[in-house]
Amino acid sequence: MGISKSTLFGLLRHGQTVWNRQRRVQGRLDSPLTADGIEAVREWARFLSGPRWRWTRIITSPAPRARTTATLINEALRVEIREEQDLREQDWGIWEGLSWTEIQTGSGDELRAQVEKGWSFRPPEGESRIEVCRRAQALLSSIGREYQGEQILVITHQGVIKSLIYALEKRDFLPGEPKLIDKDRLQTISCCNDTMTGFAYNIQPSPTP
């Protein structure tokens, strides 16, 4: 039996969307990338196709905003793209499509109560953070076994990325914890024999010469 090799996953959030700019909850819904979002993705494509990396494939959420991001980056990488349902964003239930102001105005007490639950945070009729984490962990473990030793770029959502990293770093997902990751940065983790380890966080694209 051969020695298992670590698989490196690069976790990247999709580009900025119209609803991101409007501070509106997307969850399982969607909105198109903004012009700024597209330009930022093209900057990532230049960086990720550089000599520092050797990506072998892209795994993406099926959400159009993630698929568009993956397609734009792949203009530079030219590797296989595979969609995975378990990379979709947290289901925000009845709060999807609403702005944060609308949620705070109409459901402020419920929002505050849920935030204090940490990993058990669950929007009404939605999905908890721990459920998001478990499906994402199971998927990456499976892919890590399938593609041992590869570097795999994962295009997904901030809720998925935070859940994975916070679990690795044993965070409680509660208000007041120090900030750990930035939403517009690359986070990398390694996986070997179903064990995940944080590798490097908050990697920024190098400026174009």
The residues assigned a catalytic role are 14, 89
Q: What amino acid occupies position 28? A: R
Name residue, tokens 């007490």: 109
- Find out whether 191 and 7 touch, Cβ atoms under 8 Å: yes
Q: How many CA atoms lie within 13 A of 29 on its CB side?
A: 17
Name residue, tokens 């690359």: 186
Return the SS3 of 6. coil
Return the SS3 of 199. strand
- Find out whether 85 and 91 touch, Cβ atoms under 8 Å: no
Distance CA 124, CA 92 (A): 7
